[in-house]
Structure 1
Amino acid sequence: MSDSIIIQKPLHAAQQLLVLHHGVGGNAQDMVPLGQHLAAQFPNAFIVSVHAPYVSDLGSSGAGAQWFSVQGITDENRPTRVAEVMPAFIHNLRYWQQTSGVEPGATAVIGFSQGAIMALEAAQAQAGLAARIVALSGRYAQLPEHAPEKTTLHFIHGKSDPVIQYGHCVTAAERLVRLGGDITADVIPYLLHEVTEEVMDMVVERFTGHIPKHQWEEVQKAAAEHQNLKP
């Protein structure tokens, strides 16, 4: 946690918590530009870029970090590797919620690549962790069997991504729609495995323009009850 970077800490009580997670072999600094972009739009948000806790085994620089190793990774062993480190990921998120004083209902978890994998699987592992999960160039370790309640999932993926193919985004979105989930899925032409200005703008657009499904349903229910009470 000590290597994580607090990008914005409001002077008064934070109204939102935005927790950013980098990809394998990266570090907390990688997500600072996105955090700064979000800070300009959400001045009352506590924003932190988390540094993954384990030294990356990619390359020889020793500067990068990871949540789990991708050496010898397969579709068969990925779920186990994710599950082994999930308690630490959830503990870290709870730490930042406690530190910021922000409840899960006002928390957004944003992940890029491996960070997105961890964020998506965290919402599967424990209900009510966050109000929104943003998966940038990510995927599930394994396709979900249920859609998280009261959690909106935003997928943003490049159609030209050479690392994690965009088909994972499409397949996951189709599965979640069938499960009744609250999702948005955007595939951007020519985008590679990266977080560009266009991606940053789209994250802001999704935060400001998408009304969570459960909130919309609650409004509709209240309106119907009000109509029924009319003489």
Structure 2
Amino acid sequence: MSDSDTQRPDPLSIIPTDAPPAQLFVVLHGESANPAQVLQLVAALRQAFPSSAIIQPYGPFGAAEKRRWIVSSTPTAHQYVELIAQAGAALAQEITHWQQQHGVNGEQTAVVGFSEGAAVALEAVSTVPRLAGRALLFSTRFASLPEGIPHTVTLHLLHGGADTIAPASQAHQVHARLAELEGDVTLDIASNVGHELHAALIHQAVVRLQTCIPLRSWEDAQGAPDLRIDEYSANAPEDVGEPPPKTLH
């Protein structure tokens, strides 16, 4: 760490007290931020999945409350790929520890990330088989197109159509690449939404978790990718109606 880095705070955790957790959510903030950035997302997950454990780690690097998942604040394109790979490997080790601590397996685990946190989440679930059953990736500038993806994970890409920091065109590219790899992937684009954890995207993430049955659960799916791309208005997320009964997988 550099001289400006401060000691990494312990993760924030929400753990059920009446029974062992039924699921584990690991929720990652974006660059130059901290878990406060994802509190609305965490609240929505907690409401939809009250029996789950939710862990919100701080990025390992940075000063005060502005944490990052990579050590450099101004990496080159090549350095960014390498640093995200390192961060993904470190995150995978932490997730494995939390799974053992709370008695859950990969199928019961969802990794959720915003911006830089989503790039790290994708790296972790792409390179470690059975690490997670789901990954929800919000508004990220991906380090590189995936070279492979385990068929044991379902990926949900969620993006703002008006995002100028991480343009939605890149999410389309990642979605197309994952489809080529016969991955189980969905893409949701919310119009008029920029680089933010907008309520419409949060709502749609919960809908995906509650309604999208992984292809690995269908005996006749034969590994065919989920090619759905949904584009919708973000002006009134409540108009999409109430979510269906709770389910994660």
TM-score range, shorter chain: 0.7 to 0.9
1:32 Cα deviation after fit: 2.0
Q: Tell me the matched-pair count.
A: 215
Aligned equivalents of 2:13 and 2:117: distance in 1? 17
Q: Is 2:21–2:53's contact at 8 Å kept on the other side of the alignment?
A: yes
State the partner residue of 1:71.
73
Cross-structure match for 1:225:
none
Per-residue CA deviations over 1:24-69 (Å, capped at 9, x if unaligned) read: 111122212211111111111111211112115xxxxx32111114
1:110 to 109, 112, 120: 112
Task: Determine if the alignment matches structure 1 residue 14 to structure 2 residue 21.
Answer: yes
Superposition TM-score, scaled by structure 1 size: 0.87
2:46 equivalent among 39, 47, 55: 39
1:71-150 superposed matches below 5 A:
71-150=73-152
**8 A Cα contact 2:15 2:21, kept in partner:** no
Structure 1: segments with no counterpart, 5+ residues: 57-61, 222-231
Q: RMSD in angstroms over aligned alpha carbons?
A: 1.8
Q: How does 1:176-187 map to 2 (within 5 A)?
A: 176-187=178-189
Q: 1:196–1:8: structure 2 CA closer, same or farther, 3 Å change rule? A: farther
- The Cα of 1:97 is off from its aligned counterpart by 1.2
Given residue 41 of structure 1, which amino acid in structure 2 is its aligned partner? A
Amino acid across the alignment from 1:101: G
Q: Is the 8 A contact 2:85 2:120 kept in 1?
A: no
**5 Å matches for 1:192-211?**
192-211=194-213
Q: Which moved more, 1:25-34 or 1:170-179?
A: 25-34
Distance, in Å, in 2 between the alignment partners of 1:72 and 1:50 is: 22
What residue number does 1:161 align with? 163
The whole-number CA distance in structure 1 between the counterparts of 2:217 and 2:129 is 17
Task: Give per-residue Cα distances to partners, 1:55-112, cap 9 Å, x unaligned.
Answer: 15xxxxx321111145333332211111233332112211221222111111000000
Kindly provide the amino acid, as one letter, of the partner of residue 192 in structure 1: G
Name the structure with the higher helix share: 1
Q: Which runs of at least 4 in structure 1 moved beyond 3 Å after TM superposition?
A: none
> Partner amino acid for 1:202?
Q
CA distance in 2, matches of 1:220, 1:30: 37
SS of the aligned residue for 1:108 comes to strand
Matching residue of 2:55: 48
Q: Which amino acid aligns with 1:153?
A: L
In 2, the alpha carbon distance for the partners of 1:110 and 1:10 equals 23
C-alpha distance 9-188 of structure 1, shift in aligned 2 (>3 A): same
Kept in 2: contact 1:157–1:169 (CA 8 A):
yes
Q: What SS does the aligned partner of 1:160 have?
A: coil
Q: Share of identical aligned residues, percent? A: 31
For the Cα contact (< 8 Å) 2:61–2:71, is it kept in 1?
A: no
Q: 1:53 to 1:164 in 2, by over 3 A?
A: same
